[in-house]
Amino acid sequence: MVQPLNYLKESPSQTAGPYVHIGCTPNFTGIHGVYETDLGSGPMYNDKTRGERITIRGRVFDGSGTVLKDALVEIWQADSDGFYNSPSETRGSADPNFFGWGRCPADMTTGEFVFETIKPGKVPFRDGRLMAPHVTLWIVARGINIGLQTRMYFSDEEAANAEDPVLARIEHRVRVPTLIGKREGDTVTFDIHLQGENETVFFDI
């Protein structure tokens, strides 16, 4: 029997709210027993992982310059040899001791996200040219209808960044620095600006 069209109505469209954290990081929100630990939390490596250990720290800012304390950030990257931990990786074998993916909710007090990972190697662009070492980030927070995609390159890779085919496609060169993480020792700082004068370059992926 056909139901009348007004029987089940479409629910209203909403931006990312508390359900993102409840579903993706239940332990962080105080809901225990779903997973032993939240998926993607903790270091992305173990004591057998090859490569240079680094820590990525950053915050997400809205258009007014206010830190978002309810953001959720994920990163995806290659291992130190430039291979992805993915079934679609056909160029070689990725380091089995490197996870290649992480998820971190922003600290509810400071708004900071933190990833303990390794510095990635170079991976090829579609035409075979090598891209500079980088990590891909996905961001959701209040006010965002669809998750945003961006990249973080490294400030200590100036030569590689200058030859990177993706960075070369950015027409307004003054915006390139929004994709460069500032490295000091083993810490890389990368703040993400959703709007405003320092708006981060986002990619339509």
| Residues 6+ positions from 59 with CB-CB distance below 8 Å | 67, 68, 106, 110, 111, 112, 113, 191, 192
- Is the confidence at residue 3, as pLDDT, over 90? no
Q: At 170, is the pLDDT very low, low, confident or very high (cuts 50, 70, 90)? A: very high
Residue 5 in tokens: 């069209």
Superfamily holding 18-193: Aromatic compound dioxygenase (2.60.130.10)
Q: Which of 29, 12, 30 is nearest to 20 (CA)?
A: 29
Mean pLDDT for 87-103 is 93
Q: Residue 4 has what pLDDT?
A: 64
Q: Which of 93, 187, 77 is nearest to 135 (CA)?
A: 77
Share of the chain above pLDDT 90, in %: 76
Buried b (16+ CB within 10 A) or exposed e, 24-51: bbbebbeeeeeeeebebbeebbeeebeb
pLDDT digits (tens, 9 = 90+) for 14-40: 566 667 777 888 898 899 998 899 999
pLDDT digits (tens, 9 = 90+) for 101-139: 999 999 999 999 999 999 999 999 999 999 999 999 999
Q: What's the CA gap between 21 and 30, in Å, rounded?
A: 10
Mean pLDDT for 60-89 is 94
Q: What's the CA gap between 115 and 182, in Å, rounded?
A: 15
Mean pLDDT for 159-179 is 96
Residue-range domain boundaries for the chain: 18-193
The type of residue at 129 is: R
